[in-house]
Amino acid sequence: MKFKKGELVQQEFGGPVMEVIGFEPHLIENIVTQWEDEKGTIIKAKFMQDTLIPASSIKK
């Protein structure tokens, strides 16, 4: 795995900073993430590993 549980990631082309909370290696969208939106709602989503980068890699 490219990422570790608890690591902060973002989609390659932007979007919210998300925390990696788990893995589903048998699926194409194998990285499980969560983040909190501006209203305080916790959102969970799955992404393909290749579409995510470490949040620290984002250029400001």
pLDDT attached to residue 13: 87
Q: Exposure string (b/e) for 20-55, b if CB count within 10 Å is 16 or more?
A: beebeeeeeebbbbebeeeeeeeeeeebeeeebeee
Residue 17 has a pLDDT of: 96
Residue 60 confidence (pLDDT) above 60: no
pLDDT tens, 5-46? 999 999 988 899 999 999 999 999 999 999 999 999 999 999
Query: Residue 29 has what pLDDT?
Result: 94
Backbone angles phi, psi at 12, to 5 degrees: -55, -35
pLDDT at 59 over 70: no
What is the model's pLDDT at position 1? 65
